[in-house]
Structure 1
Amino acid sequence: MLWFIIIAAVIALDQYTKYLALTRLVNYDTIPLIENVFHLTFVKNRGAAFGILQNQKWFFIVVTGAIMIGIIYYIYREKPESKLLMISLSMILGGAVGNLIDRIRYSYVVDFFDFTLINFPVFNVADSFVVVGTIFLSYYLLFKYDAKKDEA
């Protein structure tokens, strides 16, 4: 049940912040929170990270759907006991759903966090959860996963 709560919370937070971006940032070029370091900048992202694969809406919908099905299938089939694994998969799934909602609803993903100091791509809450969830998953697979236990 924990995984469902995390997924719902990630989606709710992501969609709420995107709503705020759509209603409050759309008329501004950028709003500096820390001048020349961190801004809020409304961006319609029709591609993936770093703007690659622009205007490939259906490709992203299909790939995201396949990832979601794979994660849900794994959770139901394997019923993993590791909280770290469940949290990481839930964060990834919640972030994926958050961006999928945008792609279906608007044909683009709403991005607004802008680290201008390092010229990093503008991103959103869903992206953040996917990245942090992937870091947690990588940590789990590298340091916590015991392949010998699965062989028994």
Structure 2
Amino acid sequence: MTTQTSKLKTNIIFFVMFVLLVFIDRITKIFSVNTLKEKPDIDIIKGFLQLHYLENRGAAWGMFQGARVIFIIITAIIIIISIVYLIKSDYTKGNLLLRIAIILLISGAIGNLIDRVLYTYVVDFIYVSAINFPVFNVADCYVCIAAALIIIYSLKSEDKAKDKGKEEEHA
């Protein structure tokens, strides 16, 4: 298989992954609006996890309320930079984790961007009451998982660089 064919296949897989992730986020938010907006919380695990409708006009955990335009601009910049990175990056197995993280990041960013544009707020609905954690949504999960994967990728890359440096010293 040629490199071009391999890149095309990889891009198609990542695009399908992106579409599926955004679709899951949208479906869960539509469910939330239609089911939870006018009703009390739904217990998933009593005393631990509930579905609770919330309109978040801020950023993470409701910080910076009312800064919608700034969030839209920052989100658009992050999405553009991420897409450019995906297009320009090499397709080695070594950066697969980073590429998956970026797809998750873009999917989460677009999921919340759609809310900000359509509703002027982000629909949140997952509430971990056992620790009184702020209400969040599926797109937020994508962004958090992406951040964790980027940290893991960075630590692994740093370890590889140290190992390579040690090999060069002993050569």
- The two structures have a TM-score, normalised by structure 1, of 0.92
SS at the partner of 1:27?
coil
2:29 aligned residue (18, 31, 55) = 18
Larger Rg: 2
Instruction: Spell out, residue by residue over 1:51-105, the C-alpha distance to the aligned partner (whole angstroms, 9 max, x if none).
Output: 1000111010000000001101111122342211111100011000000000000
SS in 2 for 1:32: strand
Q: Tell me the SS of whatever aligns to 1:114.
A: strand
Q: 1:6 aligns with which of 9, 14, 17?
A: 17
The letter of the residue matching 1:130 is V
Unaligned runs of 5+ in 1: none
Q: What is residue 96 of structure 1 aligned with on the other side?
A: 109
Q: Which has the higher contact order (CA 8 A, sep 6+)?
A: 1
Alignment of structure 1 residues 63-74 onto 2, 5 Å: 63-74=74-85
| Matched letter for residue 98 of structure 2 | L
Q: CA RMSD in A?
A: 1.6
C-alpha distance in structure 2 between counterparts of 1:80 and 1:147, whole Å: 19
Aligned position for 2:137:
124
| Residue of structure 2 equivalent to 1:78 | 89
Of 39, 48, 57, the residue aligned with 1:37 is: 48
What is residue 125 of structure 2 aligned with on the other side? 112
The C-alpha deviation readout for 1:105-151, integer Å capped at 9, x for no partner, is 000000000001101010000000110011111101111365599xx
Describe the SS at the equivalent of 1:111: strand
Runs of 4+ in structure 1 deviating by more than 6 angstroms, as ranges, are none
Higher helix share: 2
Which residue in the other structure is 1:138 paired with?
A: 151
SS in 1 for 2:154: helix
Instruction: Supply the distance in 1 between the matched residues of 2:123 and 2:32 (Cα, whole angstroms).
Output: 8
Q: CA deviation at 1:50?
A: 1.6
